[in-house]
Amino acid sequence: MTQLATEERVVPRRGLLHRLDVKGSPYLYIAPFFLLFLGFGVFPLIFTAWVSLHDWSLLSEEHTWIGFGNYTKLFDDPAFWNALWNTVSIWVLSTVPQLLLALVLAHILNQRLRGQTFWRMSALIPNITSVAAVAIIFSQLFGRDYGLINWVIGLFGVDKVDWTANTWSSHVAVSTMIIWRWTGYNALIYLAAMQAVPKELYDSASLDGATSFQQLRKITVPAIRPTIIFTVIISTIGGMQVLAEPLLFGGNGLTGGSDRQFQTLALYLYEVAFGRFDFGYASASSWVMFLIIVIVAAINFGITSRLRRS
């Protein structure tokens, strides 16, 4: 790039048009991004903040200014705290096993395998399946009376579980959908990072008699730590926004079960906005949701950077 600049000095005064082209055209090329993003990204974001300070129903023309009224209401709202708790619970239940499984899977895939492409493709198949389709398929599998999963655990003498009825069982079911869809994706991200680890490390470790699992723990995990941090943060942002799984698992019910036992934050937001048309309150919850994401990401970052130093 510095060379481009010197070239301009070597060939000066090519005329106004040329200089305009060199100086101005870059802005033209990035303009579509910024115009569309300002219109449909930034403006709505700021507008939500404005709406959240009003009593703003879609059904009425009047929008009364109520300051932080929506926010204080939110903190006294048991349904909001319930949704927050469910979101965190589902996030932990899905992220921890998902990333551990992904690590192991990536470690297995990082060998000189026959049919490498086939194994990688089968790991990624779940991820290309749409979230709506996954939610519907798993809802059927988790059916109480005729679901395959209850039949299989029945073979081991376990009683039927009414998966949608209880908090823990519905969280497990929703987490299963997330784990199934994202494990292979994360495994491929890890695999990419693992391929940068010098092979000699593994060779000498095997010579010293280290088992495959020891190699994973002692060599691979420390080496790809930045990638692990990255996936934790990405999974957090995704986990805070889970919507389709609980929505479709409950047969399209906005409350996430009769007692809101698996209503997530995003689903609660959807219920407030498009079930009750209370846009002011919904905007306030979406800003709080954003703050929660930022806080959780910051905590993640703090913990992981401390880990890195130790």
Partner 1 sequence: MRRAFRRRPGKFTYLVLTAIAFFSFFPLYWSVVVASQDNSALGKMPPPVLLGGNLWFNLKRAFTMVPFEKALINSFLVAGSITLSVVLFSTLAGFAFAKLRFRGRNILLLSIIATMMVPTTLGIIPLYMLMAKIQWTGTIYAVIVPAMVNGFGVFFMTQYLSEAVPTELLEAGRVDGCSTIRLFWHVVLPAARPAAAVLGMLTFLTAWNDFFWPLVVLTPEDPTVQVVLSTLSAGRITDYSLALTGALIAILPLLVVFVVLGKQIIGGIMQGAVKG
The secondary structure element, H or E, covering residue 281 is helix 279-309
Stretch of residues binding partner 1 (CB under 8 A), selected from 65-73, 162-170, 217-225, 263-271: 263-271
Instruction: Work out whether 7 is an interface residue with partner 1 (CB under 8 A).
Output: yes
Decide whether 78 or 251 has the Cβ nearer to partner 1. Answer: 251
By CB under 8 A, tell whether 283 contacts partner 1. Answer: yes
For residue 132, state whether it binds partner 1 (rule: CB under 8 A): yes
Nearest-5° Cα angle at 162, 160 to 167: 130
**Segment contacting partner 1 by CB under 8 A, of 68-76, 89-97, 123-131, 298-306:** 123-131
Instruction: Provide the pairing of β-strand 54-56 with 63-65.
Output: antiparallel
Task: Confirm or reject binding of residue 258 to partner 1 (CB under 8 A).
Answer: no
> Within 138-197, which residues bind partner 1 (CB under 8 A)?
138-141, 143, 145-148, 151, 180, 184-185, 188-189, 191-192
Q: How many residues interact with partner 1 (rule CB under 8 A)? A: 104
Q: Residue 143 class from Cβ within 10 Å (0-12 exposed, 13-18 middle, 19+ buried)?
A: middle
Q: Which range in 72-80, 90-98, 269-277, 302-310 contacts partner 1 by CB under 8 A? A: 269-277
> Please, which of residues 44-83 interact with partner 1 by CB under 8 A?
44-45, 47-48, 51, 58
Residue 90 contacts residue 171 (beta carbons within 8 Å): yes
**Which residue of 12, 32, 67, 209 would you call a contact of partner 1, by CB under 8 A?**
32
CA distances in angstroms from 307 to 35, 104, 224, listed in the order given? 41, 21, 13
> Which residues, numbered 233-252, are part of the site for partner 1 (CB under 8 A)?
234, 237-238, 240-241, 243-244, 247-248, 251-252
Which phi and psi (to 5°) does residue 14 adopt?
A: -90, 5
Among 60, 64, 130, 214, binds partner 1 (CB under 8 A): 130
If one asks whether residue 33 binds partner 1 (CB under 8 A), the answer comes out as yes
Q: Of the two residues 267 and 310, which places its CB atom closer to partner 1 in the complex?
A: 267
- Report the C-alpha gap between 14 and 16 in whole angstroms: 7
- 262 binds partner 1, rule: CB under 8 A: no
Binder among 61, 76, 159, 200 for partner 1 (CB under 8 A): 200
Q: How far is the CB of 204 from partner 1 (least distance, A)?
A: 8
Sign of the torsion angle spanned by Cα atoms 298, 302, 304, 308:
positive
Question: In angstroms, rounded to a whole number, what is the distance separating the alpha carbons of residues 138 and 130?
Answer: 12
Q: Is 263 in the site for partner 1 (CB under 8 A)?
A: no
Q: Are 270 and 283 in contact (CB under 8 A)?
A: no
Our CB check for partner 1 shows the closer of 76 and 200 to be 200
Maximal CA-CA distance, the chain: 86
Q: Identify any residues that bridge with 63 across adjacent strands, giving them in sequence order.
A: 56
Spatial contact of 89 and 264, defined as CB atoms under 8 Å apart? no
> No. of H helices and E strands in the chain?
16, 2
Q: Is 213 an interacting residue with respect to partner 1 (CB under 8 A)?
A: no
Please, what is the minimum distance in Å from the beta carbon of residue 88 to partner 1?
16
